[in-house]
Amino acid sequence: MDHLQRQLSNISLSGDQDVLSTLQDEDVPKLLFLSVDPSRMTKTQRYADLSGANDALGASQGVGGIFADSESSSNLRLLEKFKRCLAEKRITPLRRELQCRLLSLSCVKPDSNSRSTLESNFSDESNVLNDGEEDILRFTELLEVFRLPVPTEIRENFECIISSKKIPLTVGPEKSEGSTFFVEPGCTVIAEVGDSLSPSDVFQLYEILSGTARGDEKARELLSPELEQDALEKVPGLKDVAFYYLVLEMLRKEMINRLYTHKLHFLFDQLKKMKFGEGAEDPHIDGILTTLGRYPIASRSPGLCLVFLMTEGRRGASQDLAKVRELFEKQYKYAFFVKNDPTAEEIKSIISKLKAGRYKYYDSLVVWFMGHGDKTYLHVKDGRIHRRLELIEPVTEIEWYIKKPKLFFIQACAVKKDRRRFSSTCQVKAMRASTDSLSVSWRASAGSEWQDKYADYTDMSLVNSFADTLISYATMWYQYATRGEEGSLYVDTLVDQLRQYGHKESVENVLQRVHYNVNMVSLLHSEEGQDIKWKQAPFFESSLQKVFIFPKPEV
């Protein structure tokens, strides 16, 4: 009996219910895959680390549980269990791993604290969630999703973390059945893809890899161990093991992440060609390809919506807020926070508090500013803030929202004040990357000329903080934005279009329709006794790298 077995023989979960007794073999690899935080996967550690000290159980009983190894080595150990299942053609190694992890989490004893609400959180200091606490949150949620009993110790730990880290209650009891908040949305989407695949589909994906591997060392590393289609057909859950093992290995080697999934897109595109021929259409695989082209939005709440609302001297402001609240809070189920008449320091403070770990689980971020402004500044209580430097840029630099869609909606005038012109030049030099040197078939979708020039310099590990950001403005630079007793033309039109099409089409398509409708409305402005007819022209700028579609409202 090895060290692991000796530990398990001496430890048991409290209560008479066996967590694993009702879990089907098909669900074991899925549950463990969903428990992974892809951001912690690393390609720098080798499988050799899985032996010796890194594979042994430590004696410490701290936040990391009975396991003394790091989170990265824990993920590598999980990969080894997936690999062993494929070699042995059975699920037992993963069942044992799941039991080990549950035992580990039962040993964590976080400090308790009073519960909190979303509003009160913005007046508290930031709190960071450690790896062990995040694991407890995910596993508790997953056990509920799979309708498994949650061990008493883990449930108590979960409640303590929710309290001490001031995670809003809206992500707990009010969630709909089967929904997730703490599980990485990219994993949720991949799991849905995995559920739709047949054993033959998974086997053919490995066949495609075999063909690609002739000229690609990374692809060759993904092929071990060899698969047998007959085993994938007959052993319950082995098909899922093979698919998730492939995805986890690609994550570890930094071949994919939640944003860059074009290598998976390539595999499924090749699968469609293999099954149906060149140029063929298939609703199933085409649906997978469409899903991979979108930002993963799978959590509940799907995002956080912040509203900075200036009411002083702005008739119709309350009507605008009511429409935005109805759409985002009631229909799209976003966590919703409003700050009325904020000062510049209050806005900066609220943005700073978004760095707290409790806000990392939102799949998207929406920020509204409704007030007066000019081209450079937005007017706040007793002062002003720079549009970009003090509102947009600080939000985009928050770690939790890198690679996630960040949408800004600015209802404010952009009249000319202190206009300054400047020019700059920059010499660009491409830097060869070491993380993504692959055969042509694995590269991003682009023409051959672009591939020849840039493909060897692509790097998925670094993302510009301004990427994945969309900013929609009520009016073009140097012009006014209309507003009346019943609210503003821009907010009226934007809410109307988002309500109808936001969950069906990309946000860019919706905004094009907003621009069209706003520009059709004829406006009248009286100045110095003269009536002037004019039209308002909204616009947006976007660095979104995937399609963003709001979640479908619940009926």
**What is the DSSP code string of 3-64?**
HHHHHHHH---SSS--TTTT--TTHHHHHHHHT--GGG--SSS-GGGGSGGGGSPPS--STT
By mean pLDDT, which of 277-286, 426-435, 450-459, 468-477 is the weakest?
Answer: 426-435
pLDDT mean over 117-137: 70
Q: Which residue has the higher pLDDT, 62 or 240?
A: 240
Neighbouring C-beta atoms of residue 382, cutoff 10 Å: 9
Angle, helices 27-34 vs 238-252, to 10°: value is 20
pLDDT bin (cut points 50, 70, 90) of residue 18 is low
pLDDT mean over 519-536: 74
Neighbouring C-beta atoms of residue 165, cutoff 10 Å: 22
**Nearest 5°: phi and psi at 160?**
-65, -40
- How far, in Å, CA of 514 to CA of 497, rounded? 7
List the beta bridge partners of residue 542.
Answer: 470
Tokens of 92: 């037992």
* pLDDT surpassing 50 at residue 428: no
- How far, in Å, CA of 386 to CA of 393, rounded? 10
Residue at 270: amino acid letter: Q
Report which DSSP code applies to 210.
H
* pLDDT surpassing 50 at residue 336: yes
Classify 140 as helix, strand or coil: helix
Asked if 477 and 375 touch (Cβ cutoff 8 Å), the reply is yes
Asked if 297 and 403 touch (Cβ cutoff 8 Å), the reply is no
pLDDT mean over 210-230: 76
Report which DSSP code applies to 176.
P
Residue-level pLDDT at 57? 31
| CA–CA–CA angle 295, 298, 302 (5° rounding) | 90
Which segments within 376-515 are labelled E, that is strand? Answer: 377-380, 383-386, 406-411, 469-473, 483-484, 487-488
Cα torsion 516, 518, 523, 525: sign: negative
pLDDT bin (cut points 50, 70, 90) of residue 5 is very low
Residue-level pLDDT at 67? 35
Residue-level pLDDT at 59? 30
Q: Which residue shows structure tokens 């929406």?
A: 366
List the beta bridge partners of residue 377.
Answer: 386
By mean pLDDT, which of 17-31, 344-358, 424-438 is the weakest?
Answer: 424-438
Asked if 536 and 481 touch (Cβ cutoff 8 Å), the reply is yes
Residue-level pLDDT at 9? 43
- CA distances for 533 relative to 511, 523, 529, angstroms: 24, 6, 13
Q: What is the fold, at CATH topology level, of the domain defined by 303-416+464-543?
A: Rossmann fold (3.40.50)
- How far, in Å, CA of 229 to CA of 219, rounded? 19
Residue-level pLDDT at 169? 59
- CA distances for 502 relative to 271, 331, 332, 474, 497, angstroms: 31, 11, 10, 18, 7
- How far, in Å, CA of 490 to CA of 482, rounded? 8
Which of 183, 244, 203, 176 has its CA nearest to residue 26? 244
Q: Which residue has the higher pLDDT, 519 or 203?
A: 203
Residue-level pLDDT at 433? 45
Classify 131 as helix, strand or coil: helix
Neighbouring C-beta atoms of residue 86, cutoff 10 Å: 21
Residue-level pLDDT at 254? 86
* pLDDT surpassing 50 at residue 402: yes
- How far, in Å, CA of 473 to CA of 511, rounded? 10
Neighbouring C-beta atoms of residue 194, cutoff 10 Å: 20
* pLDDT surpassing 50 at residue 11: no
pTM here is 0.83
* pLDDT surpassing 80 at residue 522: no
**What is the DSSP code string of 63-123?**
TTTT--S-HHHHHHHHHHHHHHHHHHTSSHHHHHHHHHHHHHHHT--PPP-----HHHHTT
pLDDT tens digits, 33-53? 999 988 877 544 433 343 333
Peptide bond into 93 cis (omega under 30): no
By mean pLDDT, which of 114-128, 207-221, 377-391, 516-530 is the weakest?
Answer: 114-128
Mean per-residue pLDDT over the chain, rounded: 80
Residue-level pLDDT at 313? 83
Q: Which helix (H) or strand (E) holds 270?
A: helix 262-276
pLDDT tens digits, 184-196? 999 999 999 999 9
By mean pLDDT, which of 147-151, 249-253, 428-432 is the weakest?
Answer: 428-432
pLDDT mean over 513-532: 78
Rg over alpha carbons for the chain, rounded to the nearest Å, is 26
Q: Which residue has the higher pLDDT, 56 or 379?
A: 379
Asked if 406 and 396 touch (Cβ cutoff 8 Å), the reply is yes
Q: Which residue has the higher pLDDT, 549 or 252?
A: 549
Q: Which residue has the higher pLDDT, 480 or 422?
A: 480
Neighbouring C-beta atoms of residue 32, cutoff 10 Å: 23
Q: Which residue has the higher pLDDT, 322 or 21?
A: 322
**What is the DSSP code string of 291-316?**
HHTB----BSS--EEEEEE--TT-TT
Residue-level pLDDT at 2? 46
